[in-house]
Amino acid sequence: MTKTIYPGQTIGIIGGGQLGRMMALAAKEAGFKIAVLDPSMESPCGQVADIRIVAPYNDETALEELAEVSDVITYEFENIDYEGLKRLTEIAYVPQGAELVRITQNRITEKAEIRKANVPVAEYIIATSPLELNAQIDEIGFPSIVKTAFGGYDGKGQVMLHNKEDLPLADPLFEHGACVAEAYVPFTKEISVIVQRNGNGETYCLPVGENIHKHHILHETIVPARVSDIILTQATEAAQQIADHLQLVGTLAVEMFVLEDDTIVINELAPRPHNSGHYSIEGCTISQFHQHIRAICGWPLRKPALFQPTVMVNVLGEHVVPLSKAILKYPNWSIHLYGKDEAKTKRKMGHVTILTDDINKTLKEIKHSGIWSE
């Protein structure tokens, strides 16, 4: 049953990272109070919350406390404790439910659901041991990518195999349990669609983003994606199909590959606001965070539209000092820093958003700033 949550009531957030922080800031604009559950007292979200519950995500007492102080509960990342979330749905209002987390925490269940939604996914096999992988690998051939079923992000927990001689490289992955091996997809671009849906089935997608990665970490998102109209339509329709199939409430990021023949293949799902949707804070008529709050609070959604072409570039630990020194040079840059205590190399510390009339000129400006040099 969809409930309406009103300003003045409290939104509980499991997870205190930057996504929780940006959700909280969007919610506070509408007058909501924020409670956050996170193991760290000074988490990015904790810094802007009204109530901080400092405990592990699977702490039963802490979850009960969160339920007690919150009128609605959401989460900011999918690697939270599924069993804890499931118990929480019995004692609190969690419109997203726990099932979406169960599905997306495991690559095996995620791929099965993508197939059931009748959208394209790379050919894959499931193996529980190196022996099983060796026996089945010919079904998908080489090159192929072996990924742990659980965990792994930003390129962690996966290995590329070019031939049979490479098979032993995947052996350590099985220490964490079953693995998925996917046929390598020779893609031309990576894109993502942020799809958002409320409890009444009202659904909107943000404009499609084109994603450029460096060292398996998202570097830039360019909007609109530089792809054909056919791809834009396919991508949006696929995201909506998956959202409807999963009976989504809230936000789902759908990452996809674009192939040379102007078709798409779904890569993976994230059941939350996503790094590739940060551009929407300045770039769209509604941000992914404001829309997420509307969706979980049972409000009508707003139709997103792009103000003008936009580039979002991630700020990692090694970029913070050079960015700070360059602030006065680039008045058209919107700078977001997440309040993390330590600027470690390759750690996401913030992002910059640039609205532009000339994408190529802006990409050159980013490159020539020297902030993101290798």
User: Both 243 and 172 in a single domain?
Assistant: no
- Has residue 200 been placed in a domain? yes
Is the four-CA dihedral 168, 169, 173, 179 of positive or negative sign?
negative
CA angle 109, 113, 118 (to 5 degrees): 150
Note whether 252 and 312 are same-domain residues.
yes
Hey, what amino acid is at 79? Answer: N
Quick one: 53 and 78 in the same domain?
yes
DSSP secondary structure string for all residues of 272-332: S--GGGTTHHHHBSS-HHHHHHHHHTTPPP----BSS-EEEEEEEGGGHHHHHHHGGG-TT
**H or E element at residue 38:** strand 33-38
Contact call for residues 49 and 35 (beta carbons, < 8 A): yes
CA angle at 117 for the pair 114 and 120, rounded to the nearest 5°: 60
Q: Is 22 a domain residue? A: yes
**324 and 254 share a domain?**
yes
* Predicted TM-score (pTM) of this structure: 0.95
- Indicate the number of domains in the chain: 3
Which tokens in the block code for residue 195? 């799809």
Domain membership of residue 65 as a residue range = 10-94
Question: For 267, how many CA atoms within 13 A lie in the half-sphere containing its CB?
Answer: 21
The C-alpha atoms of residue 108 and residue 183 are separated, in whole angstroms, by 15
Are residues 319 and 224 located together in one domain of the fold?
A: yes
CATH, residue 72: 3.40.50.20
According to the model, what pLDDT value does residue 345 have?
94
CA distance 340 to 114: 34
Tokens of 158: 């996966």
Task: Report d(CA 217, CA 155) in Å as an integer.
Answer: 7
In a domain, residue 62? The reply is: yes
pLDDT at 279: 98
| C-alpha distances out from residue 116 to 105, 130, 133, 242, 297, Å | 17, 28, 24, 9, 28
**Nearest alpha-carbon partner for 249 in 206, 193, 297:** 297
Q: What does the chain come to in residues?
A: 374
pLDDT at 157: 85
Answer for the pair 270, 78: CB distance below 8 angstroms, yes or no: yes
347 contacts 294 by C-beta, under 8 angstroms: no
Residue 126's DSSP bridge partners are: 180
> Same domain, yes or no, for 158 and 203?
no
Report the Cα 199 to chain-centroid distance in Å. 20
**Is 102 a domain residue?**
no
Last-in-domain residue among 183, 207, 227:
183
Residues 327 and 363 in one domain: yes
Backbone angles phi and psi of 59, in degrees to 5: -75, 115
Cα separation, 31 vs 18, whole angstroms: 20
Q: Is residue 2 part of a domain?
A: no
CATH of the domain at 315: 3.30.470.20
pLDDT tens, residue order, the chain (374 aa):
789 999 999 999 999 999 999 999 999 999 999 999 999 999 999 999 999 999 999 999 999 999 999 999 999 988 888 999 999 999 999 999 999 999 999 999 999 999 999 999 999 999 999 999 999 999 999 999 999 998 766 567 899 999 999 999 999 999 989 999 999 999 999 999 999 999 999 999 999 999 999 988 999 999 999 999 999 999 999 999 999 999 999 999 999 999 999 999 999 999 999 999 999 999 999 999 999 999 999 999 999 999 999 999 999 999 999 999 999 999 999 999 999 989 999 999 999 999 999 999 999 999 999 999 86
Nearest CA to 80 out of 28, 175, 125, 16 is that of 16
For residue 13, give both structure tokens. Answer: 């957030």
* Claim to verify: residue 205 and residue 238 sit in the same structural domain: yes
- Token pair recorded at residue 56: 């592990």
Residues 135 and 255 in one domain: no
Q: Give the DSSP letter string of 349-360.
A: EEEEEEE-S-HH
Does residue 67 sit in the same domain as residue 160?
Answer: no
- For residues 234 and 351, membership in a common domain is answered with yes
Same domain for 199 and 348? yes
Structure tokens at 234: 């396919």
| 101 belongs to a structural domain | no
Residue partners of 132: CB distance under 8 A and separation at least 6: none
Give the whole-angstrom CA distance, residue 272 versus residue 195: 10
Position 155 scores a pLDDT of: 60
Buried b (16+ CB within 10 A) or exposed e, 131-162: ebbeeebeebebebbbbbbeebeeeebbbebe
